[in-house]
Amino acid sequence: MVKLGDIGPEVAEVQKLLSLLGYDLIVDAHFGNKTLRSIRAFQKKYGLVQDGIVGEKTMTALKAAQKRTSKEDVTTLDSVNYGDLIIKTDAQMPDNQYVKQITKKSQIFLHFTAGWPSAKNTISYWNSDPVQVATAYVIDGDSGLVYQAFHPDYFGWHLGVKGTNGKLDRASIGIEICAFGPLVKKGEKYYAWPNNYTTTTVDPKYVYTLDKPFRNNIYYYTFSDEQISNLERLLEFLIKKYDIKVQEKFDVEWLEYNQELVTKCLPGIWSHSNVRKDKFDVYPDKRLLEMLNRIAKKFN
């Protein structure tokens, strides 16, 4: 039995089933008022007692209501042929940690982890949480190697945009670049976010200083040359594979919040900061923008 106030994997499973039926929910494993309203609406639609509690009858009805279409595949897809692009597949996530549903892709979203440099540890952390928040790819901070967390035809809840029924998550492929993100300078030292910027210091050689602040921060943990190089190769592969339309140019303004993107699910290469005003990923690294403009020139 799952009810208002509950937290955990059972709640996440209910939210996932509701979301796949079209209810506007983010799968966060917290049974709040929005989940309650969705359950009651579902119960009303299917002639069940509208108590907002997911008991045996409601759960059975939720599972039975899932429609299998040509867009959904609960079997294992063939492995991706990346050609000469090296992709690590030794840390892939179990099926229950992402949404194993095939969806049409028209977008690529870039993130940074805001955490430690290991791609394997990032994926392991995601696996420890019942919420299906993950990206298909993670780019390691030490080696720059790309790790496939799950098949890119499927999706994870990597954006957290409210009021969209997850349409952007479904339409996009997420790429995480392992990096701490914003840094705070205190005296001559630079601090990363763990323990509220009090204990984790960063070697100055890993600090990227912006010409002007982005989202009120001027210091960021730098992406390595290897990360940017492998990201470029991965983007080119995905653009070709999924026939993704690429913008004509990329500049600092590209990183700003874009309501039209949220509303219309515009195709292209985007950043988490485009759809969330509270996010910093990714920052305007000149090397990153130069790389994206090379891609824009190649595909336009």
Residues 149 and 282 placed together within one structural domain of the fold? yes
Residues 119 and 16 placed together within one structural domain of the fold? no
Inter-CA distances, 24 with 21, 39, 86, 87, Å: 9, 11, 37, 34
CATH number at residue 232: 3.40.80.10
Number of domains within the chain: 3
Domain annotation covers residue 133: yes
- SS3 call for 85: coil
Residues 290 and 174 placed together within one structural domain of the fold? yes
**What is the H or E stretch that residue 225 is in?**
helix 225-242
Domain annotation covers residue 75: no
pLDDT digits (tens, 9 = 90+) for 72-83: 444 456 789 999
Residues 173 and 232 placed together within one structural domain of the fold? yes
Residues 156 and 115 placed together within one structural domain of the fold? yes
pLDDT digits (tens, 9 = 90+) for 245-266: 999 999 999 999 999 999 999 9
Domain annotation covers residue 104: yes
In the structure, what pLDDT confidence band is assigned to residue 20 with cuts at 50, 70 and 90? confident
Q: Residue 214 has which token pair?
A: 């982005």
Distance CA 57, CA 26 (A): 23
| Residue position matching structure tokens 């039995």 | 1
CATH number at residue 61: 1.10.101.10
The mean pLDDT value for 265-275 works out to 97
Last residue of a domain, one of 202, 221, 240: 221
pLDDT digits (tens, 9 = 90+) for 175-193: 999 999 999 999 999 999 9
Residues 154 and 241 placed together within one structural domain of the fold? yes
pLDDT digits (tens, 9 = 90+) for 80-136: 999 999 999 999 999 888 888 889 999 999 999 999 999 999 999 998 877 778 999
Residues 191 and 164 placed together within one structural domain of the fold? no
Residues 51 and 109 placed together within one structural domain of the fold? no
Domain annotation covers residue 258: yes
Residue 69 has pLDDT above 60, yes or no: no
- Any idea what the Cα angle at residue 157 is, between residues 145 and 67, rounded to 5°? 120
pLDDT at 16: 81
Domain annotation covers residue 72: no
Domain annotation covers residue 32: yes
Residue-number span of the structural domain to which 17 is assigned: 9-65
Residues 6+ apart with CB under 8 A from 127: 93, 94, 97
Residues 119 and 173 placed together within one structural domain of the fold? yes
Domain annotation covers residue 96: yes
Q: Residue 294 has which token pair?
A: 């090379």
Instruction: Name the average pLDDT for the chain.
Output: 91
Residues 93 and 168 placed together within one structural domain of the fold? yes
In the structure, what pLDDT confidence band is assigned to residue 25 with cuts at 50, 70 and 90? confident
Residues 32 and 161 placed together within one structural domain of the fold? no
Query: β-pairing, 172-177 with 146-148?
Result: unpaired
Residues 114 and 262 placed together within one structural domain of the fold? yes
74 vs 279 pLDDT, higher one: 279
In the structure, what pLDDT confidence band is assigned to residue 70 with cuts at 50, 70 and 90? very low
Domain annotation covers residue 80: no
In the structure, what pLDDT confidence band is assigned to residue 28 with cuts at 50, 70 and 90? confident
